[in-house]
A = this chain, B = another copy of it.
Amino acid sequence: MTVFVLVHGSWHDGDHWGAVVERLQELGHTAYAPTVAGHGKDVPKDVSHDDCVASIVDYVVERELADVVLLGHSFGGTVIARVAEEIPERLRRLIFWNAFVPRPGKSMFEDLPPHYQEMFSTLAAASADNTVTLPFSIWREAFIQDSDLELAQRTYESLSSEPLQPLMDRMDFSRFAGLEIAKSYLNGTEDTALPPGEWGWHPRMSGRLGLHRLVQMPGSHEVMFSNPRGLAEKIVEAGRD
């Protein structure tokens, strides 16, 4: 069976994968869900993209994990691409789940549509610690529109503010394109966290991967909450040989 390491995106932490990990284990797999540096509540927020990457590299190396299927969600895509550059020998496959696929020399911020760039900059400037707190209306309508209001509210309370710096850091990413690790893109057909079309996830981000396996499922950016069992099953499909 497969060893999965699940890397969350902005505003999330590792605990949010709970029901997904449970289903993966029911299916006979092993799954780890670390929290990326600077993410979660009550932690220092002054981190760089390198710090984010190092926290996942260390997690995998300390546990001596091998043959890992490494999944990144959303912002987590930029993290797993760099992790793959650092410890390719430990990885069996990368899964980008509605994730950013980085371009050499570019930041994740540069892949955001203009209205998000402006909003993120404004919110971070107004914060005490250069972080972005996601407005509830965006969470409800564009991130988790496939849940009822109660779940949308409860999960919103569990989010934490996102440090802007890792999104702004321009990384090299020059080794990523040359890696021979298999790659999958998992796309939620109603994921509007990035607006569909010119600025959308698919095929804009998936198309950067070159040869890859496309897997799709119904649902929003947050099926980890609204349909965690379905997500786990699609992760298995995306992650198998």
Residues of A within 8 A of B (CB): 137-138, 140-142, 145-146, 148-149, 182, 189-190, 192, 195-197, 200, 202-204, 206-207, 211-216, 218, 237, 240-241
Q: Which residues of B contact A189 (CB under 8 A)?
A: 189, 216
Q: Which residues of B contact A211 (CB under 8 A)?
A: 137-138, 141-142
Question: What copy number does this chain have within its complex?
Answer: 3
Question: Please, which residue of chain B has its CB at the minimum distance from the CB of A149?
Answer: B241
A213 touches B148 (CB 8 A): no
Measured in the bound complex, the distance between the Cα atoms of B215 and A142 in whole Å is: 10
Cβ 8 A contact of A145, one of B145, B197, B207, B215: B215
Q: Which residues of B contact A213 (CB under 8 A)?
A: 140-142, 145
A190 touches B216 (CB 8 A): yes
B203 touches A195 (CB 8 A): yes
A196 touches B202 (CB 8 A): yes
Measured in the bound complex, the distance between the Cα atoms of B149 and A192 in whole Å is: 32
Measured in the bound complex, the distance between the Cα atoms of B218 and A196 in whole Å is: 18
Measured in the bound complex, the distance between the Cα atoms of B10 and A183 in whole Å is: 25
A214 touches B241 (CB 8 A): no
Q: Which residues of B contact A207 (CB under 8 A)?
A: 195-197
Closest Cβ of chain B: how far from A155's Cβ, in Å?
15
Measured in the bound complex, the distance between the Cα atoms of B219 and A215 in whole Å is: 9
Known contacts A141-B182, A149-B240, A241-B149: A215-B190 contact under CB 8 Å: yes
A142-B212, A189-B216 given; name 6 further pairs at CB < 8 Å. Answer: A141-B212, A195-B203, A196-B203, A196-B206, A196-B214, A197-B203
Q: Which residues of B contact A237 (CB under 8 A)?
A: 146
A214 touches B240 (CB 8 A): no
Measured in the bound complex, the distance between the Cα atoms of B214 and A189 in whole Å is: 10
